Structure 1
Amino acid sequence: MNTNICKDYELQAGKYIDSFIRTINSYRTGKASPDLLNGIKIMYNNKLTSIRQLATISLESTKSVIITAFDNSLNPIINKSIIAANLGLVPYLETNLIRILFPDLSETYRYSLVKLVHNEAEKVRVTIRNTRRMFNNKLKDLFKKKLLSKDNMEAFQIKIQTITDCLIKKVNNIALSKEAEMLSL
């Protein structure tokens, strides 16, 4: 169990980073992104179903996405779901597909998105630090129960701190690259 502590910590903290990436990728940046439609679900056969399960979503250009439903009768339902999702997108229903054009964003809106990214990044950093504290407490408990020597406990704490530093640096880099992407549009 002792040798897996660092791996468990890294896996758990890595999940927070994955969630952070999914969250900031869902922000509308003015550049077309199929990821923006991931959370949209429609009622199909009396069951909420993701659009991705009922249609292909592809980039047409940097400013537009095309949705092609596997069953054309779903196009009006998908169209209404996109409008109801309140993402600020306007879908255009065509014969066999739905086209979504992504308008340019105002500078004020882009700066508010950057603030959102910074807030999300800070939440992830705090969560990672809290997870580090929890794992360090586990190490101290193992030491108190005499299942771990003081030298091993300190070695694990150093490894956990090194992993924490790397993960926080990764969060900072992701946030900076997203900020640059948002401001360069």
Structure 2
Amino acid sequence: MNEDIKFIIDTAKEAMDNAISHLEKQLSNIRAGKASPAMLGSVMVDYYGSQTPLNQVANVNTPDGRTITVQPWEKAMLQEIERGIMVANLGFNPMNNGESIIINVPPLTEERRRSLAKQAKAEAEDAKVGIRNARKDANNDIKKTDDASEDLKGNAEIDVQQLTDKYVTRVDDMLSLKEKEIMTV
């Protein structure tokens, strides 16, 4: 196989891998009834004047399926962490007991479950768009390759399509797993 074409296919594969890893991150942020430290992954805290991720100023744990505890490394950060959780607008009501912050994760209503499933579907669709864009870019680059025969270009486009199909199937599998997790009471 031509070096240029191999590089184009590798680049497309890397872009598709990035779309999958982004989807994994986005799906982990969608809560499915069970408490998880990843739920607070988007929380930023004002740490002496700079915005810092929560996990860099405190330990985040889940002692059980309905509770998240946040244990700051410095007691002075309790109010800032509490404020950061409120500002992140995750729908949580943090309770400060002077030592740590406790968050009770309420059970999901049927309506909220449906809305989260829709959100997961939208994230999966975004990942598919990213994968298709990588395919389009790869196919355009293959067509622009000068030192490859038409047969080689055609075979490369077939390889890119097979790669695309494989990644779209992975996205569908991830989505169905997440939907099942969200809809399970």
The TM-score bracket by the shorter chain reads over 0.9
Is structure 2 residue 6 aligned with structure 1 residue 3?
yes
Is structure 2 residue 139 aligned with structure 1 residue 132?
no
Superposed displacement of residue 126, structure 1: 2.2
Superposed displacement of residue 123, structure 1: 2.1
Is structure 2 residue 32 aligned with structure 1 residue 24?
no
Runs of at least 5 residues in structure 1 that lack an aligned partner in the other structure? none
Superposed displacement of residue 28, structure 1: 2.8
* Among 62, 74, 82, the residue aligned to 1:71: 74
Map of 1:167 onto structure 2: 167
Superposed displacement of residue 137, structure 1: 1.0
Runs of at least 4 residues off by over 2 Å: none
Map of 2:148 onto structure 1: 148
> Deviation string for 1:82-121 (max 9, x for gaps)?
1222111111112321111110010011011111111221
Determine if contact 2:43/2:53 at 8 Å carries over to the other structure.
yes
Map of 1:108 onto structure 2: 111
Is structure 2 residue 73 aligned with structure 1 residue 49?
no
Name the aligned partner's letter for residue 56 of structure 2.
Q
Provide the C-alpha distance between the structure 1 equivalents of 2:8 and 2:120, rounded to a whole number of angstroms. 30
- SS of residue in 1 equivalent to 2:103: strand
TM-score (ref. length: structure 1): 0.93
Provide the C-alpha distance between the structure 2 equivalents of 1:99 and 1:49, rounded to a whole number of angstroms. 20
Superposed displacement of residue 30, structure 1: 2.0
Map of 2:89 onto structure 1: 86
Provide the C-alpha distance between the structure 1 equivalents of 2:40 and 2:14, rounded to a whole number of angstroms. 27
Name the aligned partner's letter for residue 72 of structure 1.
K
Provide the C-alpha distance between the structure 1 equivalents of 2:70 and 2:165, rounded to a whole number of angstroms. 41
Determine if contact 2:31/2:182 at 8 Å carries over to the other structure.
no
Provide the C-alpha distance between the structure 1 equivalents of 2:129 and 2:67, rounded to a whole number of angstroms. 36
Superposed displacement of residue 127, structure 1: 2.3
Provide the C-alpha distance between the structure 1 equivalents of 2:125 and 2:84, rounded to a whole number of angstroms. 32
- SS of residue in 2 equivalent to 1:90: coil
Name the aligned partner's letter for residue 67 of structure 1.
V
Superposed displacement of residue 182, structure 1: 0.3
Provide the C-alpha distance between the structure 2 equivalents of 1:119 and 1:84, rounded to a whole number of angstroms. 24
Provide the C-alpha distance between the structure 1 equivalents of 2:126 and 2:5, rounded to a whole number of angstroms. 28
Runs of at least 5 residues in structure 2 that lack an aligned partner in the other structure? none
TM-score (ref. length: structure 2): 0.93
Instruction: Tell me the number of residue pairs that the alignment of Structure 1 and Structure 2 aligns.
Output: 182
Instruction: Tell me the percent identity.
Output: 27
- SS of residue in 2 equivalent to 1:21: helix
Please, what is the CA RMSD of the aligned residues? 1.2
Superposed displacement of residue 138, structure 1: 0.6
- SS of residue in 2 equivalent to 1:148: coil
Provide the C-alpha distance between the structure 2 equivalents of 1:42 and 1:126, rounded to a whole number of angstroms. 33
Provide the C-alpha distance between the structure 2 equivalents of 1:82 and 1:119, rounded to a whole number of angstroms. 25
- SS of residue in 1 equivalent to 2:94: strand
